[in-house]
Amino acid sequence: MASYRQPGVVLTDHHFTVPLDHDDPAGEQIELYARQVTGTGSGADRLPWLVYLEGGPGSAARRFTGAQAWLARAVRDYRVLLLDQRGTGRSTPANRQTLPLRGGPAEQAAYLARFRADAIVRDCEAIRRRLTGGAPWTVLGQSFGGFCATHYLSTAPEGLSTVLVTGGLPSLDAHADDVYRAAYPRIRRKVEAHYARYPQDVERARRIVAHLAERPAELPGGHLLTPEAFQSLGILLGGGDGSHQLHYLLENAFVPGPSGAEPSDSFLEGVRPVLSFAARPLYAVLHEAIYAQGGRPTGWAAERVRAEFPEFDPARAYDGGEPLLFTGETVHPWHFTTDPALRPLRECAELLAARADWPALYDPRRLAANEVPVAAAVYHDDMYVDTADSLRTARAVRGLRTWVTDEYEHDGVRASGTRVLDRLISLARDEI
């Protein structure tokens, strides 16, 4: 194991081999990578363990430089393990380059069906037994990481000493249709709040989408910027400074060209990292699958449900003069034609959207009998995770304590420095 230092912390690389299918332990193996982070004080390497589960799906653990944000609080009490969940980061990758090695779309879809929360939790249990000597550990779950933590409580609570969740208490039984039916009104509220803060952006967004309706633009790297793709910049509005980021993107969208105004290179370059799935393709491929259970396919739920909200039709902005409504954390079939990182995975994604035999993710009876200390930050009007669903789940988990706040958006655990994590630790320890 390689160890090295950054300001205020010591980092150690870990590599683990686990079964692709935990029900077939002698079968194909994959590799998981995790980065251990400890403080530099005496005894830091004897503290209890905390494993961090990043949001997503399909996102590698955040790469910190030193004791940044919540990590500064965590290393005071824990040895922290930043896990690259299967398929992400330095773990065995799953993307357009590697998935063809599995075979065709059917083989790729069968492979990726083993990359949901249930498999991630079993990975965690395999790692825990090797790393802690069998002692239970604390889980910190952000967003989708909180979904994983809720599954953990449902299936392997004996591995947990404490669970801390930020912006990630899922509905226990909602279908993907229900998730997006609740999401679109929240997204609209975030867009309206953005325009109230930056009224000049109403005309800017309308002008951009009208131009793209006539002439879609190609981003660096080959991504096609269509009106619908432009709308999906609204994903920024779920973060604490996202409205400001969106405003700065829109303010320099055009430059004069030989044939008139055209999207500026700086605008297109700024849009590219927001829209590209190259660094996290599993986010798109598996996004609706994280809600799948109960014998029903997801069937491109975000796309189907969007038809119930015609105000999100971009044509209403460029033909009817209405303010453009951006969208949020929604994945659509057209993502797999506009994004070169996703185009080769279109058929695989179609098969996953049609799949109906997803196993249940949560056990309400076991959660009702929970004995693990659990604390959750629930962000009021969170754009990504429905607050009402989160509070229903909080009531369904015995002993779970919530902190409901409108001081932060979905990224509160990062944006707050140490405050959110400190509050959760205190709640879980019954100190407040």
Q: Which residues are catalytic?
A: 143, 357, 410
Distance (Å, rounded) from C-alpha 67 to C-alpha 9? 6
Residue 337, SS3 per DSSP: helix
Query: C-alpha distances in angstroms, 106 versus 25, 36, 69, 277, 292?
Result: 23, 36, 41, 21, 18
**Do 130 and 69 form a contact (C-beta atoms < 8 A)?**
no
Q: CA quadruple 176, 182, 186, 187: dihedral positive or negative?
A: positive
Give how far the C-alpha of residue 108 lies from the chain's centroid of Cα atoms, to the nearest Å: 21
Strand 137-142 relative to strand 9-19, pairing: unpaired
**Do 359 and 296 form a contact (C-beta atoms < 8 A)?**
no
| 91 phi and psi angles, rounded to 5 deg | -75, 165
Query: C-alpha distances in angstroms, 416 versus 79, 282, 306, 359, 419?
Result: 21, 28, 33, 36, 6
Type of residue at 421: L
Residue 225 has which token pair? Answer: 């910027």
DSSP 35: E
Residue 25 has which token pair? Answer: 């332990």
Query: Which residues have C-beta within 8 Å of that of residue 256, sequence separation ≥ 6?
Result: 262
**Do 326 and 184 form a contact (C-beta atoms < 8 A)?**
no
Listed in sequence order, the DSSP H helices in 198-324 are 200-214, 227-231, 242-250, 265-275, 281-285, 301-306, 315-318
Which residue in 9, 81, 14, 5 sits closest to 44, CA to CA?
A: 9
> Phi/psi zone of residue 398: left (φ > 0), alpha (ψ -120 to 50 degrees), beta?
beta
| 405 phi and psi angles, rounded to 5 deg | -140, 145
Distance (Å, rounded) from C-alpha 272 to C-alpha 428? 40
Distance (Å, rounded) from C-alpha 153 to C-alpha 160? 8
**Greatest distance between any 2 Cα atoms in the chain:** 69
